[in-house]
Chains A and B, each alone.
Chain A
């Protein structure tokens, strides 16, 4: 297996681990997750939507990253979600909301908001690397295939 391909597989597997772990943890302890969502400085009317959409989206992204055909879309979705989480953590750190909630709602409950921020940035960078490598891989596949030249 070429090094670049192996690196791409490792990036995808790290993101799959993150999203699958996060989503399953939320579904296992759903009551706690709902409480943590209510503790966030967002309107509580959004809680029913968020508690179902976030873990479902995480499962969908993991599934997209597993299969080759949907992997690029998975990397883009992963980047979008991780950017949203990073912006949210950044807004809390910059005191954009009325209060700073406990950081217990995150993927690893014991991390502080600053640690969450760096954790998220790491996965944002991984998603960007995944997009670049997967795009290059797809381009090289298209150009190396003689059939596509005449299509």
Chain B
């Protein structure tokens, strides 16, 4: 009985730690400078959670600059946080 328990616990720990490391590292566009779209073009978005947040909704909240183009990064609605 103790052997079965040990196997189940070891598998649970191995899967969760392995899974976390396997899915943990990847390119995250949010670490790049963020921009939001306005009628006049793209403007610096500020600091996430301090200057703005992304409200749940359909659309693109922020963009990142890739060369001379802008690529969608965070989804939602760009909303300024009142200072």
Contact = CB atoms under 8 A, between A and B. Distances in A.
B74 to A, nearest CB: 7
- Give chain A's interface residue range (CB within 8 Å of chain B): 35 or more
Interface residues of B, number: 33
B49 A35 contact: yes
A16 B56 contact: no
B8 interface: yes
A39 B23 contact: no
B55 interface: yes
B16 interface: yes
Contacts of B4: 1, 6, 9
Contact of B19 (A21, A31, A32): A21
Contact of B8 (A10, A18, A25): A10
Contact of A35 (B23, B48, B55): B48
